[in-house]
Amino acid sequence: MITHLGIVGAGQMGCGIAHVSAQAGYRVTLYDLSSERIEAGLATINGNLARQVSNGKLTDEERREALSRISGSTDINDLAPADLVIEAATEDESVKRKIFSKLCPVLKPEAILATNTSSLSITRLAAATDRPEQFMGIHFMNPVPVMKLVELVRGIATDDTTFRAAKDFVGKLDKTVTVAEDFPAFIVNRILLPMINEAIYTLYEGVGSVEAIDTAMKLGANHPMGPLQLADFIGLDTCLSIMQVLHDGLADSKYRPCPLLVKYVEAGWLGRKSGRGFYDYRGDVPVPTR
């Protein structure tokens, strides 16, 4: 039974998972190498919970209780009591493998290990651990407190007990589960990222400006956010990483990352988090960069 959750990575995704898990009654240990990231993450969680209080979705007592269930740590050994540990580090396979090599000796034998990867092979990541049968993909959508979907992805070795425990855990977070097979980028990003990449090609080829493309998709396809605005929100480095996983894994030219996307990432224009992407966020109002 899962009562204590460990999370590796106090970034946007890790903090979002900590938020919804603590709110659902789980005890959470949020681990990161950086104490500054942990402090910033806990402040963000507090701010998001406070917003839920002001919207009438939570009482102030529930907010305080949720916060009291989360502890931050820069010592990986503090994850030892966890029943389930979710890795939510950067979308880089070598980084994730290094984390698992340090994490596995710390965990109790029965602990389940999961990754929040949005595109990488669950089977391959599981093989880098000492417990492939107790390993699976639990892919949350961003922003975690708002988005209702979680993709569950089994590796070739994942056993039924692990899958049932993960499904039960996600159900208690009041999220909807969709089960995806272990193919590059699973379901959501297999469909979403090529659409974003195509929007970038449409910009690259001069078919329309940033504003024209986003307006066209918002009003013409009823999307809540334009594809270029969404790319900035996801992070252009993450978009490129997922397109490269699709291109390498499926060997189909339709997944070739747009050269303009590559150029923006090389420039360090990664979207909202860096202040510039397809929009410039450094002023009061985002301004298209093309």
- Is 9 annotated among the ligand-binding residues? yes
**Among 142, 30, 43, residue whose Cα is nearest residue 86:** 30
Alpha helices in 205-235 (DSSP H): 210-220, 227-234
Contact assessment for residue 202 and residue 208, using Cβ atoms and an 8 Å cutoff: yes
- Is 10 annotated among the ligand-binding residues? yes
- Is 12 annotated among the ligand-binding residues? yes
- Is 273 annotated among the ligand-binding residues? yes
Residue with tokens 């699973």: 186
- Is 1 annotated among the ligand-binding residues? no
Mention every residue, 6+ apart, whose C-beta is less than 8 A from residue 182. Answer: 121, 122, 123, 137, 153, 154, 155, 156
- Is 32 annotated among the ligand-binding residues? yes
- Is 13 annotated among the ligand-binding residues? yes
Contact assessment for residue 68 and residue 42, using Cβ atoms and an 8 Å cutoff: no
- Is 116 annotated among the ligand-binding residues? no
b/e 160-198 (16+ beta carbons within 10 angstroms → b): eebbebbbebbeebebeeeebebebbbbbbbebbbebbe
Beta-strand relationship, 70-73 and 27-31: parallel
CA dihedral 169, 183, 88, 75 (to 10 degrees): 90
Query: Any idea what DSSP says for residue 104?
Result: T
Give the catalytic positions in this structure.
118, 139, 151, 189
Mention every residue, 6+ apart, whose C-beta is less than 8 A from residue 134. Answer: 110, 111, 112, 113, 158, 159, 162
**Alpha-carbon gap, residue 178 to 190, rounded angstroms:** 14
Residue with tokens 């339709």: 254
CA–chain centroid gap for 30, Å, is 15
Q: Residue ranges for the binding site for NAD(+)?
A: 9-14, 32, 91, 96, 118, 142, 273
Q: Residue ranges for the binding site?
A: 9-14, 32, 91, 96, 118, 142, 273
